[in-house]
Structure 1
Amino acid sequence: MTHKIAILGASGYTGAELVRLIATHPNMDLVAMSADRKSGLEMAEVFPHLRHLKLPSLCKISEIEFENIDLCFCALPHATSQRVIRSLPKTLKIVDLSADFRLRDPAEYAKWYGVEHVAMECQAEAVYGLTEFYRNDIRDARLVAGTGCNAATGQYILSPLIKAGKIDFDHIILDLKCAVSGAGRSLKENLLHAELSEGYYAYSVGGVHRHLGEFDQEFSKIAGREVKIQFTPHLVPANRGILGTAYVLGNAQVVHETLVDAYKTEPFIKVLPLGETPSTKHVRSSNFCHVGVVADRIDGRVIVIAALDNLTKGSSGQAMQNANLMLGEKETEGLMLAPVFP
């Protein structure tokens, strides 16, 4: 069976990544792509690397006939996404890549994103889209909320350890190095080559990064009590990738065994041998996440590191993984591309 697919917001990085992945999927037919400011253009004019594909022209959302669509990927900005989604047919399956449906509590959404949520009727049915932890709910969902790329990285490291009670919940430090594509495609002064190259810096320091809302929500739910981690992201002069390093209190052998057991049947999460560390180079342009565990020289302290591609496993690949489940496809379909190296 071929599923008819639409992408809303196809002119951004995550939209282009979705196109790249859908092109390899044997049972998905991309029939509509919106990009309001670039409406009327061909995708090859916006992303020349996709010129080999036969794709529909970019259009406005209002021009799409949604009754002919089986599933829609929504890659629109935060706050815009919820307004659009509430207006779409109630029978349409949707995977949202924005932050609009990640936080279940509307007060938390307003706190972290600075605007009121206007589509709580949709929020009520939204399923959090971290596939490895919400797989059964995603299969039956109509609306899936894709996670933040930083949030996904941190959860792959920490969620199994919190669930198993193998680390001290009150002493968790998470340090992330994030590639520049995570900031989107819009022109920003601090992302100009002369501003960013040859250095990197911490941002949203001191507990103000929006993805902390997801960490607070998910970790506290797993633990059955409040869990607040210390988290600092850093922007690095790379196009793709996230390297997350967590510092926890526990036993390295136990931590490693817990992660191995948690991910032993997962097709995309690879736990390295104890003492080995991952690199973003080894997951580039793929839906894989590599996790490593190292014992610190100070007894009782453990370092856990995860690497993933923010545009693939952290966003569009994760969205495809969820869509496969929602459409009754094999979860790995269109996603087993090997990482690009070097």
Structure 2
Amino acid sequence: MIKVGIVGGTGYTGVELLRLLANHPSAKVTAVTSRKEAGMKVAEMFPSLRGRVDIAFSTPDETDLQACDVVFFATPHGVAMAQARELLEVGVKVIDLAADFRLKDPAEFAKWYAMEHSCTDLLAEAVYGLPEVNRDAIKNARLIGMAGCYPTSVQLGLLPLLEGGKQYVETTTLIADCKSGVSGAGRKAEVGTLFAESADNFKAYGVKGHRHSPEIEQGLSLIHGAPVKLTFVPHLTPMIRGIHSTIYARIKPEGRDVDYQQLFEQRFAAEPFVDVMPAGSCPETRSVRGGNTARIAVHRPGNGDLLVILVVEDNLVKGASGQSVQVMNLMFGLPENAGLDIVPLLP
């Protein structure tokens, strides 16, 4: 049985980890930290876990995380890089759900997250947590920087078009028009996510620049083997969970005769958590609510020179905690779907 520690168990990604791991056949949560809620039973804060999680929050200082086999950091940016080294030195694997180990360029990290990176040697070692791209590297890794929620949807949506240097679409004019539910902002008091502010409303944000932009471009450029440029515009929608990404790609002359439906179906045929929808489909966010599956549909309106790729995922599951459990399974040689065979909730 894998002994799991969770640093920062009171946020949305933390409680989602607890929910998923409560049913995992080969993992047991042995420690959950929270400075503010130390001593409180997890199930007291989250009654949905009553009878499933019988453990109390403890302060990081009082918690023996070094006795764990793997530690998840479901914390604000900057926490994991301060604690990862001492865990790695005693053989504990580290999975960070924040951004500390996503961007390979320390200067880019400092620019977008307003802090200097404190362990650039570990940053160079960290493997990016997107299984559909880095599965083999993840299996042998001891430190994972999980993919962000928006970047997961956009990279999966463009993967078949760019992988291996394919020249099917223009790589300097890509557009990702993305929408997310309010849980993506985290479990904190903030005016913009108050019910009276976010309900019955729809707005764009981060149009001048968003911290997920360099992550997406970094990932796509590595997938393609050459620089890729993308315009990314996120939006906040009045729902709790879900991401819907609409991606636009201009077809090059070399790609005019490609069967894109077949291309996507073949690329993801063996992927347990990517579902390519039938031709003409428009996937809905509610079809993935609570599940670890990303659903993708590819359209070519009028058989013209523009591809429209639709991607939906649950931002807390495939976009965060579920994908993290998927990565843990790979790191420990478990079936990739262990603890993740969840039918999404509907309605």
TM-score range, shorter-chain basis?
over 0.9
In structure 2, C-alpha distance between the alignment counterparts of 1:97 and 1:187, rounded to whole Å = 20
Q: Tell me if structure 2 keeps the 8 A contact 1:166–1:254.
A: no
Q: Tell me if structure 2 keeps the 8 A contact 1:3–1:70.
A: yes
Q: Tell me if structure 1 keeps the 8 A contact 2:66–2:87.
A: no
In structure 2, C-alpha distance between the alignment counterparts of 1:252 and 1:44, rounded to whole Å = 56
Q: 1:218 deviation in Å?
A: 1.3
Matched letter for residue 216 of structure 1: E
- The equivalent of 1:137 in structure 2 is 137
TM-score by length of 1: 0.96
Instruction: Please give the secondary structure, in 2, of the residue aligned with 1:331.
Output: coil
Matched letter for residue 314 of structure 2: D
**2:288 aligned with 1:283, yes or no?**
yes
Q: Tell me if structure 2 keeps the 8 A contact 1:40–1:57.
A: yes
In structure 2, C-alpha distance between the alignment counterparts of 1:177 and 1:325, rounded to whole Å = 29
In structure 2, C-alpha distance between the alignment counterparts of 1:287 and 1:314, rounded to whole Å = 8
**2:110 aligned with 1:105, yes or no?**
no
In structure 2, C-alpha distance between the alignment counterparts of 1:109 and 1:54, rounded to whole Å = 36
In structure 2, C-alpha distance between the alignment counterparts of 1:46 and 1:334, rounded to whole Å = 23
Percent identical across equivalent pairs? 39
In structure 1, C-alpha distance between the alignment counterparts of 2:73 and 2:112, rounded to whole Å = 21
Matched letter for residue 236 of structure 1: T
- The equivalent of 1:246 in structure 2 is 247
TM-score by length of 2: 0.95
Match of 1:317 among 306, 322, 325: 322
In structure 1, C-alpha distance between the alignment counterparts of 2:329 and 2:50, rounded to whole Å = 25
Q: 1:171 deviation in Å?
A: 2.0
- Where do 4+ consecutive residues of structure 1 move more than 4 Å? none
**Which digits, 9 at most, give the CA deviation of each residue in 1:55-85, with x for residues without a partner?**
2110011212233211111111101221122
- The equivalent of 1:223 in structure 2 is 224
1:52-63 to 2 correspondences below 5 Å? 52-63=51-62
Matched letter for residue 196 of structure 2: A
In structure 2, C-alpha distance between the alignment counterparts of 1:110 and 1:133, rounded to whole Å = 25
Instruction: Please give the secondary structure, in 2, of the residue aligned with 1:124.
Output: helix
Matched letter for residue 116 of structure 1: E
Matched letter for residue 51 of structure 2: H
In structure 2, C-alpha distance between the alignment counterparts of 1:175 and 1:5, rounded to whole Å = 36
In structure 2, C-alpha distance between the alignment counterparts of 1:109 and 1:257, rounded to whole Å = 38
Q: Tell me if structure 2 keeps the 8 A contact 1:240–1:311.
A: yes
In structure 2, C-alpha distance between the alignment counterparts of 1:197 and 1:54, rounded to whole Å = 32
In structure 2, C-alpha distance between the alignment counterparts of 1:54 and 1:171, rounded to whole Å = 48
**2:178 aligned with 1:176, yes or no?**
yes
**Which digits, 9 at most, give the CA deviation of each residue in 1:105-148, with x for residues without a partner?**
11111122121101112212210000111000000100111111
Query: What is the RMSD of the two structures over their aligned residues, measured on CA atoms?
Result: 1.4
In structure 2, C-alpha distance between the alignment counterparts of 1:66 and 1:188, rounded to whole Å = 31
Matched letter for residue 10 of structure 1: G
In structure 1, C-alpha distance between the alignment counterparts of 2:170 and 2:23, rounded to whole Å = 43
Q: 1:224 deviation in Å?
A: 2.8
- The equivalent of 2:92 in structure 1 is 92
**2:200 aligned with 1:198, yes or no?**
yes
In structure 2, C-alpha distance between the alignment counterparts of 1:54 and 1:168, rounded to whole Å = 49
Match of 2:189 among 162, 169, 187: 187
Match of 1:274 among 270, 279, 283: 279
- The equivalent of 1:28 in structure 2 is 27
Matched letter for residue 87 of structure 2: L
Q: 1:51 deviation in Å?
A: 1.9
Q: 1:40 deviation in Å?
A: 1.3
Matched letter for residue 80 of structure 1: V
In structure 1, C-alpha distance between the alignment counterparts of 2:95 and 2:8, rounded to whole Å = 12
Matched letter for residue 131 of structure 1: P
Q: After alignment, is 222-231 or 265-274 more displaced?
A: 222-231
Structure 1, unaligned stretches of length 5 or more? none
Q: Tell me if structure 2 keeps the 8 A contact 1:166–1:255.
A: no
In structure 2, C-alpha distance between the alignment counterparts of 1:237 and 1:256, rounded to whole Å = 31
Structure 2, unaligned stretches of length 5 or more? none
- Cα distance 1:223–1:177, how it changes in 2: closer, same or farther (>3 A)? same
In structure 1, C-alpha distance between the alignment counterparts of 2:156 and 2:116, rounded to whole Å = 29
Matched letter for residue 229 of structure 1: L
In structure 1, C-alpha distance between the alignment counterparts of 2:192 and 2:279, rounded to whole Å = 38
Q: Tell me if structure 1 keeps the 8 A contact 2:31–2:65.
A: no
- The equivalent of 1:126 in structure 2 is 126
Matched letter for residue 34 of structure 1: T
Q: 1:46 deviation in Å?
A: 1.9
Q: After alignment, is 265-274 or 42-51 more displaced?
A: 42-51
In structure 1, C-alpha distance between the alignment counterparts of 2:257 and 2:247, rounded to whole Å = 12
Number of aligned positions between the proteins = 340
Q: Tell me if structure 1 keeps the 8 A contact 2:17–2:322.
A: yes
- The equivalent of 1:64 in structure 2 is 63
Matched letter for residue 188 of structure 2: S
Matched letter for residue 100 of structure 1: D
Instruction: Please give the secondary structure, in 1, of the residue aligned with 2:5.
Output: strand
